[in-house]
Structure 1
Amino acid sequence: MNNTDFNTLCAIWIFIAVAAFILLQFVTAPYGRHTKKGWGIEISNQWGWIIMELPSFLIMLYFSLVSNQNTYTLILFALWLIHYFNRTFVFPLRIKTKGKKMPLVIAISAIFFNAVNASLNGYYLSYLSGNNSSSVESINFILGISFFAVGFFINQKSDHYLISLRKPGERGYKIPIGWLFKYISCPNHFGEIIQWTGFALMAYNYAALSFLIWTLANLVPRAIKHHRWYKEKFPEYPPNRKALIPWLI
């Protein structure tokens, strides 16, 4: 596949992401705190996370092993694999959701989403990155890896904080207080958006851009609905706290 055909494929995937963003204004994905009946067969929440994140890790691992890597692609492969190793094998075992379920249809849709994103990014880095003028010395790469590091830190610290709110055996939700939670309801989503913005800057190609747009399409509506859920469930919820971006959204 040449660059033109590949970029056309990415453009189609971006168009679908925009459509998904519009749809998610009206439909709330029924997992986590938004879980509800009526979505068919349900599976363990922990196994659901493992199953739906696994394609991103395995597909990118495959491409990293079959490609002729240079420093530029090696770093990008490594950062992707670090993130998805955590998402696939570490995060699901840390969350305290014993007994909670998620609809199988959500896991299946996420498998498709993750498989396409990993395939596009892995294929580009393996076979088309030689046409990319970006390098580890470029300003976009340096700026991007800085963004990725900051976003990864925010995401990990926020997840750790949220997980630690529950004591062993607890299943309910509490109001997170302190750190970035002072300003926004979803610093974990905020950090992940910063992280993949950095990856898109580093990679500097349409595949990485399409993944960033999909990240925004999923996480922006999700964060806004989390924020509304908090306000509905807790009358004492801090009134000045925003959903996703401090002082703005």
Structure 2
Amino acid sequence: MTKNEFNTICFVWILVALAAFILLQFVTAPYGRHTQKGWGIEISNKWGWIIMELPSFLIMLYFCVISKSNAYSYFLFGLWLIHYFNRTFIFPLRIKTKGKRMPLVIAGSAILFNGVNASLNGYYLCYLSTFDIGDFMNTNFLLGILLFFTGFIINQKSDDYLIKLRKPGESGYKIPNGWLFEYVSCPNHLGEVIQWAGFALIAYNYAALSFLIWTLANLVPRAIKHHRWYQEKFPEYPSKRKALIPWMI
């Protein structure tokens, strides 16, 4: 596959992301706090997370193993695998969702989403990348690595904070307060957006850009609906708090 053919596929995938963004203005994915009946067969929430995140880890690991690329590409492989090792094997075992379930169709759609994104990014790094050792000192890398690990830390700390809100045996929701939760309802989503913006800067290709756009298409509507859910469920919810970006959205 030529780079032009590959980029065309990425452009099409970006258009699909934009369509999904529009759709998510009207449809709320029924998992987590938005779970509802009527979406067919349901599976364990923990197993659902593992199943739907696993393709991203395995596909990228496959490309990493077979690749004979450059050190810069291997670095990007590593960033991706660090994130998805946590998402696939650590995060699902930490969440306190005993008895909670998610529709199988949600896990299935996430498998498709993760499979395509990992395939595009893995293929580019394995076969099309032309990085060299000097790229470790360029502005894109330095700014991108700062953003990636800043976002990663925000995402991890936010998840940890939310997990610890529940005492042993509890399954309900509470208002999170403190740290970035003073400014936004979903700093975990904000962290993930910052993280993949950093990855896109470091990778500097259309596959990474398409993944960033997909991240925004999924998480911006999700954060806004989380925010509205909090406002509806808790009358005392802080009025100055935003959904995703402090003082803005």
TM-score (norm 2): 0.98
Q: Which amino acid aligns with 2:72?
A: Y
* C-alpha distance in 2 between matches for 1:178 and 1:203: 34
Q: Is the 8 A contact 1:134 1:204 kept in 2?
A: no
* Deviation digits for residues 123-173 of structure 1 (CA, Å, limit 9, x no counterpart): 000000027898212110111011001000000000000000001110000
* C-alpha distance in 2 between matches for 1:150 and 1:102: 30
Q: Is the 8 A contact 2:71 2:132 kept in 1?
A: no
Q: Which amino acid aligns with 1:137?
A: M
Alignment CA distance shift 1:186-1:35 (3 Å): same
Which residue in the other structure is 1:65 paired with? 65
SS at match of 1:246: coil
Q: Is the 8 A contact 2:72 2:132 kept in 1?
A: no
> How much has 1:232 moved relative to structure 2?
0.1
**Structure 1 residue ranges (4+ consecutive) displaced by more than 6 angstroms after TM superposition:** 131-134
SS at match of 2:135: coil
SS at match of 2:240: coil
* C-alpha distance in 2 between matches for 1:223 and 1:186: 6
SS at match of 1:43: strand
* C-alpha distance in 2 between matches for 1:168 and 1:57: 30
* C-alpha distance in 2 between matches for 1:19 and 1:134: 38
Q: Which amino acid aligns with 1:141?
A: F
Q: Which amino acid aligns with 1:116?
A: V
Q: Superposition pairs for residues 30-109 of structure 1, below 5 Å?
A: 30-109=30-109
Which residue in the other structure is 1:136 paired with? 136
Which residue in the other structure is 1:191 paired with? 191
Q: Note the residue ranges of structure 1 that are not aligned, 5 or more in a row.
A: none
Q: Superposition pairs for residues 105-184 of structure 1, below 5 Å?
A: 105-130=105-130, 135-184=135-184
Alignment CA distance shift 1:40-1:242 (3 Å): same
* C-alpha distance in 1 between matches for 2:124 and 2:17: 19
Which residue in the other structure is 1:210 paired with? 210
> How much has 1:220 moved relative to structure 2?
0.1
* C-alpha distance in 2 between matches for 1:172 and 1:165: 10
Identity rate of aligned residues, in percent? 77
Q: Is the 8 A contact 1:39 1:105 kept in 2?
A: yes
* Deviation digits for residues 188-246 of structure 1 (CA, Å, limit 9, x no counterpart): 00000000000000000000000000000000000000000000000000000000000
SS at match of 2:207: helix
* C-alpha distance in 1 between matches for 2:133 and 2:108: 36
* C-alpha distance in 1 between matches for 2:202 and 2:130: 14
* C-alpha distance in 1 between matches for 2:141 and 2:21: 28
Q: Is the 8 A contact 2:69 2:127 kept in 1?
A: no
Question: How many residue pairs end up in the alignment?
Answer: 249
Q: Note the residue ranges of structure 2 that are not aligned, 5 or more in a row.
A: none
Q: Is the 8 A contact 1:189 1:219 kept in 2?
A: yes
Q: Is the 8 A contact 1:71 1:136 kept in 2?
A: no
The alignment status of 1:22 with 2:53, answered yes or no, reads: no
Q: Which amino acid aligns with 1:175?
A: I
TM-score (norm 1): 0.98
Using the TM superposition, name which of 129-138 and 168-177 deviates more: 129-138
SS at match of 1:136: helix
SS at match of 2:102: strand
Q: Is the 8 A contact 2:64 2:77 kept in 1?
A: yes
* C-alpha distance in 2 between matches for 1:61 and 1:176: 35
Q: Which amino acid aligns with 2:91?
A: F
Which residue in the other structure is 1:240 paired with? 240
